[in-house]
Structure 1
Amino acid sequence: MTFTEQLRQEADPIFEAIIEHPFVRGIAAGNVPKEAVKHYVKADFEYLNAFMHVYGIAISKCHDRKDMAFFSEQINFVINSETHPHHNLCNYIGIPYEALQGYPLPPSADHYIKHMKHYAHEGSLGEILAALLPCPWTYLEIGNRLMDEVKPDENHPLYEWIHFYADGEMENTTMKLRRHLDSWAEGASEREKKAMTDAFIKSCQLEWGFWEMSYNVETWDLNPKHATSTSL
């Protein structure tokens, strides 16, 4: 069993909790509360900006140009491809994508970003990889599961979102991150493997927290669940 297979096995309860989260089930049914979707897009736009920053820091810790090229490719993927599911969500709620950019992060998203940046600045390249991996991996599994369960056609309001995350490009990204992490783990000490495991599991938990934050429209002001305000 590879190191990443061990990580996935340990995190299985969290992956299953994500798949069964009401927000994800709402994506499957095409009826996510629109206020929750708006909250998600606002936070995810800033989260992906931070994700690219972490990739950039990872480049600074690379010694091999192939590794540098890999992280550079991932930045390009986020900028040029991962906006597509956001556009689908924005079309679903009838709000322009540009209107949901530049907002302060809710508490759980703020925590997640600081968690990643901690490993980016203080951790090894292996710890950075472990902290980054749950994001694409959980989304890949969500996309695949929903494609199998729902078998959405183009009439499904969130077909593009589901199709994007079940697509081969997301699988390719996940597998490349896994191969890099497995390769790093081969030469890692037991202490570093423990640190990488902690980074991975915490990121998985924070992925679940991101869905929970979005669904509950979490704010620093502790607004009621599913706030009905129409303000952006």
Structure 2
Amino acid sequence: MNDAVKSDSPKAGEDFAEACRREAGPAWDAACGHPFTLALGEGTLPPAAMADYLVQDYAFVGTLVSMVGFAVGKAPDIAAQARLSTFLAAVTSAENTYFQRSFDALQVPEAQRSRPALREVTERLIAAMEDAGDRGSYGEILATLLPAEWIYLSWAEAQAAKSPGAFYFQEWIDLHVNADFRAFVLWLKDETDRAAAAAGAQERRAMAERFARMVRLEVDFFDMFHTR
């Protein structure tokens, strides 16, 4: 990784995660206010684009689960293991059910659900998560997970007051703006700060690089669908 980041040295009074978000700059803003998420909130996103998005998103859920599983194994205490395990339970239950119901409503064929043709950005997202889980420290895994979940909380909060109509729009927003998810993201942010505080300079740089990479990948991922 060769991203030019400096979050191993935050500004005075600034936590590590906030420094990473600040340094993401325009990419962070582009992800949180992307035209794709605006169209989703307005209910104007074409159903075919939503189906395409959900197929690609679902393609890396298993990788996300595996990566978080590695974090559970590397976590410093039972409290952190329990918090991450609760998140995994939500992803593999309520969120998975949402995907299946949405696939049914959008008439997504079984082959596309289980064996989709992956887009290049999807493959890069999978590779980033696999690498974090396989080779990254606990802090590096958190720094990979945090931007994705934080971005989803941010854009969902911006769309929460809208009524997009179809359940596959509304419930996707609701899954990412409820109190439990918000609390998890805040915990994840604090836990990332704690991991960074305990890490050496090299590991903090690696964490910052992984954070920056995931922000850019989220923008690239949304880019694939908003013009459809």
Given the two structures, how large is their TM-score scaled by the length of structure 1? 0.82
**Alignment partner for residue 31 of structure 1, among 30, 44, 58?**
44
Q: List alignment gaps of at least 5 residues for structure 1.
A: 217-225, 227-232
Identity %: 26
Q: 1:95 aligns with which of 107, 111, 125?
A: 107
Q: What residue number does 2:129 align with? A: 116
Query: In structure 1, how many angstroms separate the alpha carbons of the residues matched to 2:76 and 2:192?
Result: 15
Match of 1:6 among 6, 16, 19: 19
Mapped pair 1:53 → 2:66: yes
Contact 2:16 2:196 in 1 (8 A): yes
Match of 1:162 in 2: 173
CA contact (8 A) 2:36 2:222 kept: yes
- Moved segments of 4+, more than 6 Å: none
Residues of 2 paired with 1:30 and 1:99: CA distance? 26
How far apart, in 2, do the equivalents of 1:88 and 1:152 lie?
21
Counterpart of 2:17, as a letter, is T
Structure 2: 5+ residue runs without aligned partners? 1-13
Q: Which letter maps to 1:101?
A: R
Q: Within the alignment, does 1:80 sit opposite 2:93 as a pair?
A: yes
* Structure 2 contact 17–193 (Cα < 8 Å) conserved: yes
Q: CA deviation at 1:170?
A: 1.6
Code of the residue aligned with 1:166 in structure 2: it is: V
Q: Is 1:69 the equivalent of 2:82?
A: yes
Structure-1 separation of matches of 2:36 and 2:103: 15
Q: How many residues in Structure 1 have an aligned counterpart in Structure 2? A: 212
Cross-structure match for 1:221: none
| Post-superposition offset of 1:211 | 1.1
Give RMSD over aligned pairs: 2.2
Which of 171, 192, 205 aligns to 2:182? It is 171
Q: Deviations over 1:170-197 (max 9, x none)?
A: 2112112112111111111122111110
* TM-score normalised according to structure 2 size: 0.83
- Of structures 1 and 2, the one with the larger relative CO (CA 8 A, separation 6+) is 2
Q: Measured at CA, do residues 85 and 20 of structure 1 come closer, stay the same or move farther in structure 2, by a change above 3 Å?
A: farther
Contact 1:4 1:182 in 2 (8 A): yes
